[in-house]
A and B are shown apart, each in its own frame.
Chain A
């Protein structure tokens, strides 16, 4: 079993010290008010004691945290008072991620997380190990995962078979695995020499060039940016308000917030809104730029490996075997310049909030992305079918109801505030027909030979390719309104992680017969595809897709 990097002792000591500092702090503050004996003057001493015991706990935590690579499992044992020892079988591991913050990059340290399919969080997090150790772990786990997967899963694996097994065709890897075997005894020292021979087996699949990075940053809007700006406004309200007033003055804004007439306040509002939008947009651009800076995707054996980030550096690996579905995303701006992005979904939990979705190609020409998706999944070029026009009428009614709700809200507001001309809110009805039409025209589905392709969404359009053998369940849903119109929605569930923004792939509002047909086809092809896979054992996803 190995320990974390000694620096983590300091990190844990500081973290628990700062955490525990507050316990006696609050205790003394609360008790000093209630009990005579307790004096508020004890505060510094009590806080110091809290910090020291926290720091001691952190250091013990470091000494009690161990991890190790065994032939069949990745083991983590942790905990000071309650011990937990966890063994993660290699064949259950979805991906291994390495994350480096700014300070960690300077110090040559990294955080390693191991993801499996279950649960809403990482199965194991090693905080912190040296970068070389992180790379070694990532490589070792990946190699062993691939080794187990290539084999009959039920066959017991032993250390002996491990060494002579599937890498015969790749002398470099074999060589490195030999070195690994001997190096297990003395882990820390020669990680560097061990890393070198594995490098050549990495093959580059895609690298985001600066033009694509800029286009991606400029055309992607992140909801997180809105939160960041809101956060700033919350904490520096006065400064921000002064700033906004100053900015609006050239356009006829008020001298300050107290003096001003209706017109200048109006100017202030409009200018501030424009400023808010511009600032949010700039934050979003900067965030995307920093996150996807120097994005590189490569392959090692049957795994995808990627790296990205300007300040905080991520690197992760996705076994091609674990890919559940593939999605092409684009928004209206990206469609205008004919670009798109490619994402792969796994059942694990991703390094950021995007759940099990990982960007394989953040941005490239739409034609290239479509080709990538076809190469990756072997899907034929889809001939999309549209839902019947009755669906569009449904959206027209639905959006009209929403618009009516907006008008009703304006009317209600007019009752309690001196708002005049509330009926001007009815202007939202103008947006209803185009909205309904845009939703309708972006819906499409294709029932292919080996895949189901589902396209939906206007603002963030997603085209998902689901191989039949990845289907978990299929459901045909009909609300009372849909039943009246004779249409149905087909929900195709896969094992991709549950996420907030990525809904389950659904074919919306198609004729009942078509929905039932796709339902039957999905079920039938799932069975035949599984039989086929058991017989031929061919790879379902091509790693070399670019």
Chain B
């Protein structure tokens, strides 16, 4: 099983930080215009949110794993709900590599695998180096072409 790049934790922590900042801003707004919120409580709530977020990011990194198996791309992920997904290569419609602004700064990239399914129709593997992402994309594309089914929808 392959783990994600350790820097992905920074991405998730950054996302948490943004959320915590938004939460803080909302609380400040509530304090200003609606009901007074004690400063200690405000800081406390934001701090708890941030700590929970960081713990979540660390745990998610520990859990997130994927593997190219004989017939399918296999992924394990999820802190609250643990999900094991198999995406058979035959079912791969197309494969993207993507990166957002924070990922770009961190030098990370994601691979998104699309199937024709209704739910889980797109499976994202975040936290890959751009090089690894491109290699994975190529491999998946080759495997998908190799095993193409004749019963396309």
Contact = CB atoms under 8 A, between A and B. Distances in A.
Interface in B103-123: 115-121, 123
A498 B153 contact: no
A444 B152 CA distance: 30
Interface string A132-147: 0000000000000000
Contacts of B151: 321, 469-470, 530, 533
B82 A534 contact: no
Contact of A347 (B91, B116, B149): B116
B153 A477 contact: no
Interface string A458-481: 000000000001111111111110
A431 B80 CA distance: 29
Given A469-B151, A476-B83, A498 B88 contact: no
A8 interface: no
A474 B85 contact: yes
A153 B150 contact: yes
A495 B149 CA distance: 14
Interface residues of B, number: 27
B150 A493 contact: no
Contact of B91 (A472, A476, A498, A499): A472
Given A526-B90, A530-B90, A473 B153 contact: no
B71 interface: yes
Contacts of A495: 115-118, 153
A526 B119 contact: no
A523 B91 CA distance: 11
Interface string B67-92: 00001100000101111111110110
A494 B81 contact: no
Contacts of B78: 477
Interface residues of A, number: 38
Contacts of B120: 473, 475, 491, 493
A322 interface: yes
B53 to A, nearest CB: 18
Interface on chain B toward A: helix, strand, loop, or mixed SS? Answer: loop
Contacts of B116: 117, 347, 472, 495
Contacts of B118: 493-499, 504
A471 B88 contact: yes
B98 to A, nearest CB: 19
A324 B86 CA distance: 19
A477 B82 CA distance: 6
Nearest to A347: B153
A91 B116 CA distance: 16
A3 interface: no
B119 A530 contact: no
A514 to B, nearest CB: 14
Contact of A473 (B71, B115, B149): B115
Nearest to B113: A473
Contacts of B88: 471-473, 523, 526-527
A523 B82 contact: no
Interface string A357-380: 000000000000000000000000
A202 interface: no
A123 B58 CA distance: 45
A473 B81 contact: no
A483 interface: yes
A477 B117 contact: no
A526 B90 CA distance: 9
Contacts of A347: 116, 153
A519 interface: yes
A522 to B, nearest CB: 8
Interface of A: 91-92, 94, 117, 153, 321-322, 324, 347, 469-480, 483, 491, 493-499, 504, 519, 523, 526-527, 530, 533-534
Given A470-B151, A523-B88, 11 more contacts: A153-B152, A322-B153, A347-B116, A469-B151, A473-B117, A473-B123, A474-B86, A478-B83, A493-B119, A498-B119, A534-B150
18 contacts: A347-B153, A471-B91, A473-B86, A473-B115, A473-B120, A474-B85, A475-B83, A478-B81, A480-B81, A491-B119, A491-B120, A493-B118, A493-B121, A494-B118, A495-B116, A523-B72, A523-B86, A534-B150
Q: Which 4 A-B residue pairings sit nearest by Cβ, starting from the closest?
A: A472-B117, A493-B117, A495-B116, A498-B118
